[in-house]
Structure 1
């Protein structure tokens, strides 16, 4: 008796006979339609074509398992990896994974006990995050489609809110227990008389002639285990892109554009760290943290990176003392710890710009105005003032907003503090540096960058302190339409991996003819703008000629972080 497959091959040239044969053998109608569609094409491999055709009708892949584990980041600190497994055509398949970058506020010169406490807290946070992923989140997200990013992020947000409330309740119970213990053990001699410690010496007066820096805002506490939220959200986004068979940057762009595919995409300009002034400053400069180079927009990214590398090699040669072997990483900095910069620790309400040299907030604005007028190729200042000094942010933007970008980074460390309803809770500035850390979700970045775009701020995606080799940050920056990307120096594998990813995306967009040329445009701020107003209310419409003519064709654009470069450095 002739088999069905042999009969099919024999009747390959006759659509009518094949259809009649399978109707007689009660073949499903969908298979008959597939055969009718395939026979006129006379494919060489009828079974392969049939399988491809019928795969269109298979069930969409769904999440079947999440796996969390503790791994090491670029500086050997523990962090979280999240793997996504999906059920694809009835088979469990590993789709992707992501490694979160860690973030620390502990300065490098912290006391040993502080460092030890920070390391313990980091380990506890990662262990808790692994537990969340493998237990609660694994159960909660099972059978959801990885392409449902908004739905997943909403569930992650609700889960995180629940954990925050549980933590608050636990703290209340602990405080109540401590209060009861204190009441039962206190003695009359231990009770301080009110007002004794605050008594001032008679006749002493406080000088109020100069405006001083407002006190520092309290740091936002980070919930132990919050890495699980950010890691899972980003892993789901990568899985959604993989399932949709598109690059992650395009998947992010579709999320931001409500599924409208962008016709053209502009690459973010890289801010490449050239000089770490905390290591190389001979004059004990307290104000400058880093000097960065931004390739000119007229060059391709590949050409710009090559030019930056040439300048970096020359800087290494100039800064190296005679007779010494060249230092391997000029712009490298020890990451995983926050740097202790002078501007974050003012003395008597003033900024310490050099060791023993202080300037008032008003003097700082005058200094920056003089700096930009003297060095017109400095196109951006990041955190030129403390985030609490909002009045001076307003003044510096009014004076320099049309000449360079005034960027807030410290004020944007935690995304949860940035948005208040439909306003941006920031000092007056040109834009912000956003970092994907802790409980940040992909939907948060999509919403926030859309809001920043609407209020005409520029967005910079920045690499956190403890970097990983995961290059998803680059795709996020491209898909979100960030103006700049801040990755550090051209050294170390975890950074170079990201630069290589940016070069690969440029090549892909150029091949698809969807690469749009970047441009720089500064916007003048209104003279009487107030920090509490929305930026869109105080900035006039942009002008086409707002970019000064002398900067339209720079050999290399120079960007300094917080202050001018060291006096003995030539950066042009």
Structure 2
């Protein structure tokens, strides 16, 4: 070996490093670098490869967004929706990072007319096509060179873009109205033919107006801007890309965003609400009090154990409602007797052998108690007890029951109840069937006074959830939940212009207000399972995914099981709890006391449902009492310390 050979090689190596560093800042590693290293070190040790790789990796650029692609795809029921794909520049090379499919806000109507379906199909196609155009043109250019990990900056730009689109839409509508007004003035020739028509319409209208004063009118639906799907889809896709770049699961990335990059020591899995039955709406009648019946497993069970119990109950329900030996005879009898058969007798409901788009059985019934009793019978036959081994949640969808001509809810065909009578009915229902732990939309969101009453009467026994009032998440954030009635929590759905930052902010607000979050899936779901990671990362108390009879729903339950196994393996899984909050009759003392003594986020009554013998509540308070605040700080402080809350 020549003297100074080692020093010469060292100098050449340093020169190559400098050259590579300069090239890395521009385009990439020189192609001759590997050849030079092989010539210098034909038998170099393995750790030198790692050292060189780490050295040059530090000199590479931070991954940035280089392309955003939008395309039109089909959801789980074959309807069009949006897919967003993110490409980033990683180590100076373009790379496809991830893609997500977001569901649309369009609901799948029951027994809709063909004309209505055609209009919805046109509107849906227009909305998806506009969203694809937004992503491929405006958003692709706007988001280039941004870091996918900078979610707040991305969502801010998406929000500003959406506001500009809203303003443009308003200007277009103003111009259209002005043109229509000019056309109307020119074409208006005879007023004698219109005036009599108005007088005739006013006669029946007077009766309606008198009745409508008795109830608050329905709030108009929040208009949905065509193409708004692009905002929510891009925001969620960026979040998934940020998780991929950071080499962490999406649920952990969401949790870090919510807790300002502080990693949570433990995470709680949301409790699943399994759809068991979807009650059919007949064309000649309204919804008949209940839209969905869901099964809620106890919190001490693993997801695998809870899913198996749900499957067992579902199989037994099919056997009870549709016996194979009597199926043909019952259909023949129904065709002969017609409507008179169900009018006088309370025959057990029959399964229709059809599966809802929500992934559960569709059933027709006349009385809610029939369904509850048959579910109870099915559980008894397989050795399960409702109230201990399984619980129920009911989606009442009361906004679909209101008859605005009479000013009352039509709970059954020809049976009408006022909002106050509805409260009494639910109190009687929960007292009779204490294994019901959640009522979703028991009243319209406009019946604020009745929501207060039902919360005071049943808040310590079950969750009273608002879903229809929480359709527009962006409006909830801007209006600071002014229009939300008193309730135990909200069902949130990731649709339209909803952004990840909006969900983080809103769920944080709900946590501060001691309200629970339920993340729900819309009607037209896809096989994308990002919703599950969102629910886990946001710390949702429940997740409402549908039933186990459709693939796009089962995919999400499988993802939930995978997260549960991962958290259990890392010893970061914290067991969920079912805790109700007793609502005070007077709101003012509660507000005054909370200013002095902040209340715990989980509520004052930690009621473990698995400890209810026979479905009764623990005796922390009398059975039908409500909690009244005593404005005594010392007494309350001692009480909280004794109870270790």
**Closer, same or farther in 2 for the Cα pair 1:550/1:27, shift >3 Å?**
closer
Query: Does the C-alpha gap of structure 1 residues 437 and 545 become closer, same or farther in structure 2, counting only changes over 3 Å?
Result: closer
Displacement after TM superposition at 1:74 (Å):
0.5
Q: Residue 263 of structure 2: SS of its match in structure 1? A: coil
Are 1:78 and 2:80 matched, yes or no?
yes
Please, which of 264, 286, 300 is the counterpart of residue 266 of structure 2? 264
Q: CA offset at residue 71 of structure 1?
A: 0.3
More helix by share: 2
SS at match of 2:582: coil
2:192 maps to 189
Contact 2:107–2:524 (CA<8 Å) still a contact in 1? no
Q: Which has the higher contact order (CA 8 A, sep 6+)?
A: 1
What aligned pairs does 1:264-303 form with structure 2 within 5 A after superposition? Answer: 264-278=266-280, 286-303=288-305
- Range that drifts further, 317-326 or 55-64: 317-326
Q: 1:189 to 1:322 in 2, by over 3 A?
A: same
CA separation of 1:391/1:342 partners in 2, compared to 1, >3 Å: closer, same or farther? closer
Distance 2:250 2:480 in 1: 28
* 1:20/1:516 CA distance change after superposition, 3 Å: farther
2:531 to 449, 454, 473: 473
Which one of the candidate residues 466, 485, 492 is aligned to 2:550?
A: 492
1:371-395 per-position Cα deviation (integer Å, ceiling 9, x unaligned): 1111111110000111111111111
1:307 CA displacement: 1.3
Q: Is the 8 A contact 1:332 1:491 kept in 2?
A: no
Q: Paired residue for 1:138, among 137, 140, 143?
A: 140
Aligned with 2:66 (options 54, 64, 67)? 64
Q: CA deviation at 1:469?
A: 0.6
Residue 205 and residue 352 in structure 1: after superposition, are their counterparts in 2 closer, same or farther (change >3 A)?
closer
Pair 332,71 (structure 1): closer, same or farther in 2 beyond 3 Å: closer
> Equivalent of 1:402, from 435, 445, 460?
460
The 1:340/1:311 distance shift into structure 2, 3 A limit, reads: closer
Give the C-alpha shift of residue 216 in structure 1: 1.3
Q: CA deviation at 1:194?
A: 11
Q: Does 1:526 align with 2:584?
A: yes
- Residue 166 of structure 1, CA deviation: 0.3
Residues 454-476 of structure 1 deviation map (CA, whole Å, 9 limit, x = unaligned) = 11110000001110110000000
CA displacement 1:436-463 (0-9 Å, x = unmatched):
0011111110111111111111000000
**Which deviations, in whole Å up to 9, do the C-alpha atoms of 1:297-329 show, x marking residues without a partner?**
111122111111111111111111433599776
Q: 1:165 aligns with which of 153, 164, 167?
A: 167
Find the aligned partners of 2:15 and 2:224 in 1 and give their Cα distance. Answer: 60
Contact map agreement 1:107 1:340 (CA 8 A) in 2: no
Change (3 A) 1:483 1:535: farther
Deviation of residue 500 (structure 1)? 0.2
- Count of residue pairs brought into register by the alignment: 530
Note if contact 1:85-1:93 (Cα within 8 Å) is conserved in structure 2: yes
CA distance in 2, matches of 1:96, 1:534: 49
Give the Å deviation of 1:419: 2.8
Q: Do the aligned partners of 1:149 and 1:443 also contact (CA within 8 Å) in 2?
A: yes
**Equivalent pair of 2:441/2:468 in contact (CA under 8 Å):** yes
1:318/1:364 CA distance change after superposition, 3 Å: same
Check conservation: 2:467, 2:490, Cα contact below 8 A. yes
Deviations 1:508-547 (A, max 9, x none): 00000000111111011110338xx999789965788824
Report if aligned partners of 1:286, 1:341 keep a CA contact under 8 Å in 2: no
- Name the structure 1 match of 2:426: 368
Partner of 2:9: 21
The match for 2:400 among 344, 351, 354 is 344
Q: Distance in 2 between matches of 1:321 and 1:548?
A: 39
Question: Structure 1 pair 331/69, CA: closer, same or farther in 2 (3 Å)?
Answer: closer
1:562: which partner in 2? none
Q: List alignment gaps of at least 5 residues for structure 1.
A: 558-572
Query: Would you say 1:546 and 2:548 are equivalent positions?
Result: no
- Secondary structure at the counterpart of residue 381 of structure 1: strand
**Change in CA separation of 1:525 and 1:169 when aligned onto 2, cut-off 3 Å:** same
Distance 1:25 1:47, change over 3 A: closer
- Deviation of 1:349 after TM superposition, in Å, equals 1.1
Change beyond 3 A, Cα 1:215–1:53: same
Q: Deviations over 1:215-268 (max 9, x none)?
A: 211111111111110110010000000000000000000000011111100000
Q: Root-mean-square deviation (CA), in Å?
A: 3.6
- The more displaced of 454-463 and 343-352 is 343-352
Contact 2:359 2:550 in 1 (8 A): no
Mapped to 2, the partners of 1:47 and 1:529 lie a distance apart of: 68
**Match for residue 566 of structure 1?**
none
Contact 2:358–2:523 (8 Å) recurs in 1 = no
CA shift in 2, pair 1:288/1:212, >3 Å = farther
Deviations 1:327-380 (CA, angstroms, capped at 9, x unpaired)? 776665489xxx996752422111111111111111110111111111111110
1:249 matches 2:251? yes
Q: Which stretch shifts more, 20-29 or 111-120?
A: 20-29
* Aligned-partner Cα distance in 2 for 1:543–1:68: 41
Q: How far apart, CA to CA, are the structure 1 residues paired with 2:63 and 2:455?
A: 50
- Residues 535 and 160 (structure 1 numbering): CA distance in 2 closer, same or farther, change over 3 Å? farther
TM-score between the two structures when normalised by the length of structure 2:
0.75
Q: Which residue of 1 aligns with 2:229?
A: 227
Asked if the contact 2:276–2:294 (Cα under 8 Å) also holds between the matched residues in 1, the reply is yes
Matches within 5 A, 1:382-461: 382-420=440-478, 422-461=480-519
Deviations 1:141-188 (A, max 9, x none): 011110011100000000010000000000000000000111111124
Cα distance change of structure 1 residues 46 and 405 upon mapping to structure 2, 3 Å threshold: same
Q: Does the C-alpha gap of structure 1 residues 340 and 486 become closer, same or farther in structure 2, counting only changes over 3 Å?
A: closer
Partners of 2:241 and 2:436 lie apart in 1 by: 40
* Counterparts of 1:298 and 1:411, CA distance in 2: 31
Contact 2:465 2:489 (8 Å CA) reproduced: yes
Change (3 A) 1:31 1:482: farther
